[in-house]
Structure 1
Amino acid sequence: MRALLRLAWQSAMNRRFTLGLTVFSIALSTFMLLGVERLRADVRESFTSAVSGTDLVVGARTGSVQLLLYSVFRVGAATNNIRWHSVQDIAGMRGVAWTIPLSLGDSHRGYPVLGTSSAYFQHFRYGSAQPLRLREGKPFEDLFDAVLGADVARQLGYKLGDRITLTHGAGGPINATEHDDKPFVVSGILAPTGTPVDRTVHISLEAMEALHVDWKAGMRIPGQNVDAQAVREMDLRPRNVTALLVGLQSRAQVFSVQRQINNYRGEPLMAVLPGVAMDELWRVIGTGEKSLLLMSGLVAFVSLLGMVAVVLAGLNERRRELAVLRAVGARPWHVVGLLALEGALTTVLGVIIGVIALVASALLAGPWLLNQFGLVLSIGNITTMQWWILAGLLATGFIASLLPGWRAYRLSLVDGLSPPV
């Protein structure tokens, strides 16, 4: 074995350029395979971690997927609202630790506006139970303060102190009505989270009420126009909200509290477990994950074929070398063992370089990907599929080296000491 190692090293030094191309090909294959698989896993992780630490999502009775879509992902609309009295009753239920009211309906230049309370910044969690963090500024303190998500501030170029106006409803290009009589001031900008929070404009529940004191049934009341100064003196306690996030004192109480809410007599409500609803929603929209998985398999197939082709292509320049080895007494297993050992070492080196390149790229590009695309890369969590990919690359590299070894042995029998024509 020592002699084979020394011989393999000397042979490698004589073929530095070809060997370098082979190592580069394997490293690139490793980088692409693990990168696609990591991307596939992180896309699902980013989706399922949009809300973390919330035990129940409460809303008007509808489908669990629809409730999750409008309350967490700001997509669609609620079938009905929750009366504020019901919100207070739920907050006082046994086992409830905190509640976060959510009021939706308005927008700003295509981004949803969320009315909420200070509990949102205290208790809302995403990812691995990470709290919201302000990149600059502070949460809303004045009635007309607004806190922007990272994407909103970046895409629209806002900074602290800028004045913005909100749009009534979804804000379509036709007949969009601005709340231009009640402008807001940007008081804070949140750090990127990779969740729908980044694409949301946050205001207080009282501010949401202030916007609509002179509105009824989705239309401005004719002849009434309460300006921003006059509205400050009015009673702005919320009358209803769109949804409610609930945190419990103990996870063991989740089904008990869920049953109380589902049987609430004040109005028809439903409470869903966000994890269960996420799984249902992912089964509906998880085609993208399957596409990435298919892409990963195609990349694996093409990459491994390329690796075998590179090894076989380098065989012709070694026919004289192998013929000399046979002439000086090398046995068949020496020839096969030499190429198998070279292939195994080359594969290991290429895989190591590919893994290092992937980790380095993720560390360097991770903040940029989070800011530009809201994608969180979690390099530390190695998936089962990634372990299988690494094992498959190493095994295939070794098997790929056996085929050239067997072919080299057959060629050496007929080549003798003459160079190939």
Structure 2
Amino acid sequence: MTALLRLAWQSAWNRRFTLALTIFSIALSTFMLLGVERIRTDVRESFTSAVSGTDLIVGARTGPVQLLLYSVFRIGAATNNVRWQSVEDISRMRGVRWVIPMSLGDSHRGYPVLGTSSAYFEHFQYGDRQALRIAQGKPFEDLFDAVLGADVARQLGYRLGDRITLTHGAGGPINNVEHDDKPFVVAGILAPTGTPVDRTVHISLEAMEALHVDWTSGVRLPGQNVDAEAVRAMNLQPKNITAALVGLQSRAQVFSVQRQINNYRAEPLMAVLPGVAMDELWKVIGTGEKSLLLMSGLVAFVSLLGMVAVVLAGLNERRRELAVLRAVGARPGHIIWLLALEGLLSTTIGVLLGALALVATGLLAAPWLLNQFGLVLSITDVTPLQWWILAGLLSTGFLASLIPGWRAYRLSLVDGLSPPV
């Protein structure tokens, strides 16, 4: 076997240009196949980890997916608001550790505005229990301070101290009324998280209330315009919020607290488990991941077929070489194993190069992917499916190389020392 390996290597090296093309093709297919699987896994993990460490999401009674969409992903709108008294009652329920109130509805140049409290920066977590981090500045302290997500600051070019005005509602050509009488100052910019936090403008609940003291039912009251200085002296206790994130003292209490909230008599509320709602939502939007994996698998299959085609095409030039081997005593099995080992050697080198290229590319591109696309790559974490992909590529490459090996064996039986004319 050692002699066959040495002979296979020398034979392959003698055709190193063709060998290099074959290895490059296999490396490229390995890179694509493993890369698609890595991205597919990380996209799902980024999606499901948009919020972590939160035990319940509370909002007006609606569907779990709809509540998840507008409270976590800032998509859509709530069917109804939650009274502030209800939030206070929930915070006093047995087992509740903290509550993060969230008030949505306004926007800034297409980005949603979130009114919340200081508990948001203290308790909100994403990913693997990662806390929010202020990259520049500090959380809001003044009434008209704003903290920007990383994407908002980068895309709009904002820096600390810049003044911004918010838009009433989601904005757009129909509803595009600016709260220009109450401008905000950029007090902080969050570090990238790869979650909807990056695309959100954060203000305090009191600031959200201050924006709408002279509004009712979504319309500014005619003849009433309370300026930014006058509003500071007013009572800005929020009356309603959109949703709330709830953290419990113990996970064992989650169903008990959920039942209390769902049976809350003062108003119809609903509490959902984020993980359950995430899985339900992913079943709807996650079908594309299978298509990506299928496409990369087809690329790998075509690459292996290319390897077989290259070896088969070169057999006619190697008939004299194989006949010499037969003349010096090589058995038919040796001929088959020789070409099979050449194919396995090419496949192994190609797979290793493809895997190393993926790791190097992932490490270099990870910061750029996070900043540009909000994608967190865990390039060093090998998934079970990736191990199966590597094993499948190696075994398929070996089995594919048996085809030219069998063809070479048949040719060597009829050839002599001189190639046929």
The residue that corresponds to 1:369 in the other structure is 369
The residue that corresponds to 1:201 in the other structure is 201
**Contact 1:101/1:245 (<8 A) preserved:** yes
The residue that corresponds to 1:289 in the other structure is 289
**Contact 2:114/2:202 (<8 A) preserved:** yes
5+ unaligned residues in a row in structure 2: which ranges? none
Paired amino acid for 1:221: L
| Local SS of the residue matching 1:158 | coil
Write the mapping of 1:32-111 to structure 2, written as runs, cut at 5 A: 32-111=32-111
CA RMSD between the two structures: 1.3
Query: Can you list the C-alpha shifts for 1:142-177, whole angstroms capped at 9, x where unaligned?
Result: 111111111111111111111110000010123410
**Contact 1:22/1:311 (<8 A) preserved:** no
- How many residues get paired? 421
Mark the CA change 1:313 to 1:189 in structure 2 (over 3 Å): closer, same or farther.
farther
**Contact 2:169/2:175 (<8 A) preserved:** no
The residue that corresponds to 1:25 in the other structure is 25
The residue that corresponds to 2:166 in the other structure is 166
5+ unaligned residues in a row in structure 1: which ranges? none
Query: Can you list the C-alpha shifts for 1:207-255, whole angstroms capped at 9, x where unaligned?
Result: 0001001101100011110101111111111111100000111110000
Identity %, equivalent residues: 85
Shift of 1:132: 1.0
The residue that corresponds to 1:141 in the other structure is 141
TM-score (normalizing by structure 1): 0.97
Shift of 1:134: 1.6
The residue that corresponds to 1:309 in the other structure is 309
Write the mapping of 1:146-225 to structure 2, written as runs, cut at 5 A: 146-225=146-225
Paired with 2:125 and 2:313, the residues of 1 have a C-alpha distance of: 54
**Contact 1:340/1:398 (<8 A) preserved:** yes
Shift of 1:70: 0.4
Shift of 1:297: 3.1
The residue that corresponds to 2:8 in the other structure is 8
Paired amino acid for 2:266: G
Query: Can you list the C-alpha shifts for 1:287-311, whole angstroms capped at 9, x where unaligned?
Result: 3223223323333332332232233
Write the mapping of 1:323-342 to structure 2, written as runs, cut at 5 A: 323-342=323-342
Bigger mean CA deviation after superposition, 273-282 or 298-307: 298-307
Paired with 1:54 and 1:175, the residues of 2 have a C-alpha distance of: 33
1:256 aligns to 2:220 (yes or no): no
Mark the CA change 1:420 to 1:251 in structure 2 (over 3 Å): closer, same or farther.
farther
The residue that corresponds to 2:359 in the other structure is 359
Shift of 1:411: 1.4
| Local SS of the residue matching 1:54 | coil
The residue that corresponds to 2:119 in the other structure is 119
Shift of 1:420: 5.6
Query: Can you list the C-alpha shifts for 1:186-227, whole angstroms capped at 9, x where unaligned?
Result: 111111111111111110111000100110110001111010
TM superposition outliers: structure 1 runs of 4+ over 3 Å: none
Bigger mean CA deviation after superposition, 242-251 or 276-285: 276-285
Paired with 2:419 and 2:135, the residues of 1 have a C-alpha distance of: 69
Paired with 1:420 and 1:364, the residues of 2 have a C-alpha distance of: 54
